Structure formats: structure tokens, C-alpha cells
Amino acid sequence: MSAPRFLNMHWRPDQGMRLVQATADLPGLGETELLVDAPFGGALLIPFANRIRGTIQPDGMLSTRVLGKEIRLPANWRGKHPDAEPCAMHGLVLNSTFEVVDQSRAHVVAALNTDFGGHWLSRAHIRVEATMGESAIDVAVTVHNAGDEVLPMGIGWHPYFRIPSGRREQVRLHLPARQRALVNNYDDVFPTGELAPVAGTPYDFTSPEGTPLGSHYFDDCFTDLAKDVEGHTRADLVDPACGYRMRLMAQSPHVQAVQMYAPPDQAFVVLEPQFNLADPCSEVWPAGVDTGMRDLRPRHDVAWTARWELISA
């Protein structure tokens, strides 16, 4: 039987360097789209992933404090409940246009100089490089603090991985996380500041063979990640009904969390390797909890890297 292989990838520099689609030739299935194009689908999350809460101002902006300084963020998300609290979601580059520096069918390099619309603490130069081989897509994001102030930085990625068979209940996931962050509810999904062990619960995906998703609803931040000797965290997603297997390797040692979003009535699983826990600067987190933000001094860099790999059944 032939091995699965990537055929193409489609990035949108005008949408914050979002990976909107990747296509592969899969044994027994032929040419298959592997991503679902959905809200935030394939987006790079910079300078923070997930939600940030604050006080909504009369003009609709959200005010909060980061490193002791007050900032104002666009309140670009809220739950579906009529009384849901608006929040800031998934960073400040979603609507930015990156400059493409180099591009071919299997390789792209793009860059952005940004002050984050004046909503963050310093300026940054962001470089994104993606390379597609037959069996893997490698993504690297490097952020350089181009300003004169400390730059708090969280980086993540938000791909909606399609379930090719459409049968979500039998999909198996391996995710080596020992804890998850508890939330107030699955509409707001705001962290309470509590971390709970996953062992012996429906949230335990540490088995090397993977655990079926079943009919459970997930929108959870998994943390306390097991890492290999190189500091990498490996997540495997298997669709036994059609023999599809993939691996997402978070290669940056700064990745503290993987957010998983998987509604039971949808044929996708979102796996988001990210530096930071949700609402990372909030006082809900007890003293001593590393919420994942990296504080870059001026002229310093930080990198987020990941590999998305197709595995032969």
C-alpha cells in the first residue's frame, strides 16, 4: 500500500498567515482536504492564544492589565448565551497582512512588522516559515522584540483537523497531558484558575494507542505536558474507520498547553499547541503557576515550531 503524502498547502498572508487548507493523497481515499475552514481555522495566535478577560469600556474595547500596565484590547469574541461576557480572543494579528518574502508550491516565508495596533506593550517583527514535504508540513514562527519595552509573548496555532471518515465517535487521540484547566462553563470557557488531574477521567488521552473521543464534548486546555528528551510534545489523531493517522509535534519547549475543541456533532478536532494558558495575566491563577507567557526583553527573540505529519497505517 502506498504511503500518504501531502499535495499542497494554502496560506493566506492577508489573513494573518492563516493555513486555510492542506490537501493530501491518502491510501484508499485519494485526494482529500485535511482541514476545515472555520472561524480562526488555521490561524496563528500572536501575541496570546485563547481568551483574555477585562472590563468592557463604553466604546466597546476591553481594558485589562499586563505586566502592571493597563492596555486596551478589541473585544472580538463572546459566547452564545445572551448575557455572555465579551472577551479578547486569539491575539492581535488575525486581520494583519504579512509580506511574502519567498514562496513556491512547497515553501513560504512571510514577515510582519507590527505595533499590534497600539494594543500591546511593544513592537515586534514576526517571521513565519512553512515547508511542505511528502509526509510533513513544518511551521516555524519567530518573534523579535523590536521595541524598547518588555514584550509579553504567547504563540499558538489553531488548525481544524478534518475527520476523513466523518465518524467522530471512533476517532482515537493520544495527548500526553497530565492536567487540564477547569472553566466556568463551555459557553464562556473562562478559566477558574484550578488545574485538575486527567487520570481516570474522560479527559485522559495519555494512552500511547490513543483513546476514543466517543460522544463527549471538549473545549479544554490540557497542560502539564509530557515531553520527550528533545522537549517535544507529540499528539496523535487516528481515524480507524478509514485508516487515517496524523501526528502533531509541538517542538518548542515553551509550549505549555494544547487546547482541544471537538464538538460531538462535528467531523473535526481542533488541536492548538500554544505557549500560554487561557487568560494568562489574570489574577485567577495562583502565585507560582507558570501561565506560559514569555517576556521578551528588547532585541530578543522567541520561536514556536511544530510539525504536522502523516503516518502510514
Q: Confidence band (pLDDT; 50, 70, 90) for 276?
A: very high
Return the pLDDT at 1: 62
Return the pLDDT at 245: 97
The predicted model gives 28-44 an average pLDDT of: 96
Q: What whole-number percentage of the chain has pLDDT above 70?
A: 100
Return the pLDDT at 197: 98
Model confidence at 121: pLDDT above 90: yes
Model confidence at 256: pLDDT above 70: yes
Angstrom CA distances, 140 to 7, 21, 128, 176, 288, stand at 20, 17, 6, 22, 29
Residue predicted with more confidence, 222 or 313: 222
The predicted model gives 132-143 an average pLDDT of: 98
Across-strand partners of 8? 23
Residue predicted with more confidence, 2 or 21: 21
Return the pLDDT at 277: 98
Per residue in 47-74, pLDDT (tens digit) is 999 999 999 999 999 999 999 999 999 9
Model confidence at 313: pLDDT above 80: no
User: What would the CATH number be for the domain defined by 5-311?
Assistant: 2.70.98.10
CA torsion, points 40, 42, 46, 51, in degrees to nearest 10? 40
Beta strands in 226-264 (DSSP E): 233-239, 244-250, 257-262
Beta strands in 27-61 (DSSP E): 30-33, 43-45, 51-52, 55-56
Model confidence at 297: pLDDT above 80: yes
- The burial class, CB within 10 Å (0-12 / 13-18 / 19+), for 148 is exposed
The cell numbers describing 256, all together, are: 505549555
CA distance 200 to 181: 16
- Are 234 and 174 contacting, i.e. CB atoms less than 8 angstroms apart? yes
Interacting residues of 296 by C-beta distance below 8 A, sequence separation 6+: 122, 143, 145, 150, 151, 152, 153, 302
Return the pLDDT at 54: 97
How many CB atoms within 10 Å of residue 29? 14
How many CB atoms within 10 Å of residue 112? 20
- Are 203 and 172 contacting, i.e. CB atoms less than 8 angstroms apart? no
The predicted model gives 240-252 an average pLDDT of: 97
Secondary structure of residue 159 in the 3-state scheme: coil
The predicted model gives 137-145 an average pLDDT of: 98
Q: Confidence band (pLDDT; 50, 70, 90) for 2?
A: confident
Signed CA dihedral, 210, 216, 217, 219: sign only? negative
The predicted model gives 142-168 an average pLDDT of: 98
Secondary structure of residue 286 in the 3-state scheme: coil
Q: Which of 116, 118, 140 minimizes the C-alpha distance to 48?
A: 116
Q: What whole-number percentage of the chain has pLDDT above 90?
A: 98
Model confidence at 255: pLDDT above 70: yes
Domains of the chain by residue range: 5-311
Across-strand partners of 144? 125, 301
Per residue in 174-214, pLDDT (tens digit) is 999 999 999 999 999 999 999 999 999 999 999 999 999 99
Return the pLDDT at 14: 97
